[in-house]
Homo-oligomer: A and B are copies of this chain.
Amino acid sequence: MPPRRATIKDVAAAAGVGVATVSRVLSGTGSASPETRERVLAAAARLDYRPSALGRSLKLGRSGGLGLLVPGLANTFYGQLADGVLACARSMGEHVVVGATGDDPEREASLLGSLVEQGVERVVAVPSGDGLGENWEPALRAGLRVVFAGRPGPGSAPSVLTDDRAGVQAAVDYLGGLGHRSIGFLGGPATARERLFRDALAAIRMPADEELIVAARATRDSAYAAAASLFQRRPDVTAVLAADNTLGEAAVLAARELDLRIPRDVSVIMFDDVPWAELCGPPLTVVAQPAHDLGYRAAELALRDRPGPDRTLLPTELIVRNSCAPRTPR
């Protein structure tokens, strides 16, 4: 039978003082005689007293704590992002409540609801799906402080993003420079990069071939299916840009399955410099995003008292390895 946790009353009784005095001593506010302070501290230590965050939060109104909503943690990119959030929160002494949305707006809404029930009033989120985000309006209006990370959020909340436009452009430029004319795009649930891809194509005066732009849902299977069908439908694609590491993985797998050699038959570039990109056979050329920083900065913004900039852009970097080659007609 676990002994009830000691409360402030127990400490007060043990030290022979009132609860108010204990509270003052422990929180450092107000005055207390050195002797009293000593007694209280000793009693607290003896009873192994831990102030209940519940009681404090209730009284104070503000609950502290940071919410974190990501599609899923099995994806290394979000894992790194989450680690960044965790690091920042720890440095500011806040705890973190996480939820995996699975990129499903419905789940996101329910998770968000449970967060506000917990009294969480600051949230870092990778908004799910298409970012129409009727989910967020009510929460924002209710005073929830949310910072979007990695994907632009709906509404007026600040976001911390990577410079996707530059990243996509760098990838497309590189591929174009290699002579590729039929460049496929594997998009995910977040569709923003798709638009950037069209823009990047336009910037180098290449027409966008709609058939080469495919979007997958947020599952491994869907990603694989999208990649495989792209390669099969259009044997003339000589290069592919994958919008995230799951899609990149699918592209490599599908290419192998169809006996397409990388980079001889298809060149591949993917977003996210996950550790295995270098290990892949062949090592993958990637558009690196600072996932950890993304999370850290977003958490910082959410936790700081002063409102920060509405939009902070972190740089991307094209890291060239061995998955791209000059175009050879197939």
Query: Which residues from chain A sit less than 8 Å from chain B, CB to CB?
Result: 2-3, 5, 48, 50-55, 57-58, 63, 65, 72-76, 78-80, 82-83, 86-87, 90, 93, 95-100, 107, 111, 113-119, 138, 141-143, 220, 249, 252-253, 274-276, 278-283, 292
Contacts and interface: CB of A to CB of B under 8 A. Distances in A.
Nearest to A6: B142
A204 B115 CA distance: 54
A83 B74 contact: yes
A142 B95 contact: no
Contacts of A275: 220, 249
A246 to B, nearest CB: 8
A74 B276 contact: no
Contacts of A119: 52-54
Contacts of A107: 90
A57 to B, nearest CB: 5
Contacts of A80: 73-74
Nearest to A143: B2
Nearest to A94: B114
Nearest to A115: B95
A54 B50 contact: no
A55 to B, nearest CB: 6
Nearest to A100: B86
A79 B74 contact: yes
A2 B279 CA distance: 50
A99 B99 contact: no
A118 B53 contact: yes
User: Which 10 interchain pairs have the tightest Cβ spacing?
Assistant: A281-B281, A2-B143, A276-B276, A79-B79, A73-B79, A73-B82, A74-B80, A86-B100, A53-B117, A54-B119
Given A53-B118, A96-B97, 4 more contacts: A5-B143, A90-B99, A93-B114, A274-B276
